[in-house]
Amino acid sequence: MKNFFPNLKVADILLTKNLDNQMSQINKNLTGNQVIILFYLDDHKKEITKQVDIEKNLNISHSTTRGTVKRLIKSGFVKTSPIPEDKRQVQVVLTQQGQQLLSKNQSKLEKILSDTLAKAAKGLNDKDIDDLQRITSQIIKNLK
């Protein structure tokens, strides 16, 4: 089998670097992963969201999620609080500052994601993109 791992890894690194560079225009300490977590929390704001929920639903490791959430807390975008039904567990919620960041910059954030995707897909036709989505989905399924 031909080794395609290096190309996947380089693509991941370059996508992350591009997103991080673009996000820093909105807030110098903001990364692509942080924005994805903020969007996730915003999408699930009517639910109790624990760190483990973020890990499972976004396929992020425990240590990465923990570090990212800590940085988001330090930046004032999220907070943790005990779950009323089980005080031993904590939920992660957007703060007012985090909600304002998303609402104030919604169109900018969407444009950054769209532009990064367009840049990554440059030179690919619709069939190529469909194939890429199918192949990467299969890889994810195989590795879960």
pLDDT of 50: 95
pLDDT tens digits, one per residue of 91-133: 999 999 999 999 999 999 999 999 999 999 999 999 999 999 9
DSSP 135: H
Please report, as a single letter, which amino acid is at residue 70: K
Using DSSP's 3-state secondary structure scheme, residue 139 falls into helix
pTM of the model: 0.83
Which residue range(s) make up the domain with 87? Answer: 5-143
For residues 36 and 23, the answer to whether their CB atoms sit within 8 Å is no
Q: Residue 27: how many CB atoms within 10 A of its CB?
A: 14
The residues of the chain scoring below 50 in pLDDT are none
Q: List 78's β-bridge partners, or say none.
A: 94
User: CATH number for the domain including 134?
Assistant: 1.10.10.10
Count of structural domains within the chain: 1
